[in-house]
Structure 1
Amino acid sequence: MIIISKYLIPKGYNGLTLFPFVLLRLKILKGDSVFLNHERIHLRQQLELLVLLFYIIYFFEFIFRIIQFKNWELAYRNISFERECYANESDLGYLKHRKFWSFLKYIRRHDV
Structure 2
Amino acid sequence: MIAIVRHASFIPARGMALFPFILVKHPQDLADARLIRHEYIHIWQQIELLIVPFYVLYLANYLWNRLKGQPHEQAYYNICFEKEAFMHDHDENYLRERRLWGFWRYIIKKSSF
The residue matched to 1:2 in structure 2 has which SS? Answer: strand
- Name segments (4+ residues, structure 1) moved above 2 Å: none
In structure 2, give the amino acid aligned to 1:94: Y
* 1:59-90: CA deviation from partner (whole Å, max 9, x where unpaired): 11110011124300000000000000000000
Residue in structure 2 matching 1:5, options 3, 8, 14: 8
| SS of corresponding position for 1:56 | helix
Find the aligned partners of 2:108 and 2:68 in 1 and give their Cα distance.
12
Alignment partner, residue 53 of structure 2: 53
Q: Tell me what 2:95 maps to.
A: 95
Using structure 2 for the length normalisation, give the TM-score.
0.92
Correspondence for 1:76: 76
2: CA distance, partners of 1:43 / 1:59: 16
* Partner Cα separation in structure 2 for residue 101 and residue 72 of structure 1: 25
Q: Give the structure 1 partner of residue 42 of structure 2.
A: 42
| CA positional deviation for 1:20 | 0.3
Identity of aligned residues (%): 34
1:19 offset after TM fit, Å?
A: 0.2
State how many pairs are aligned. 109
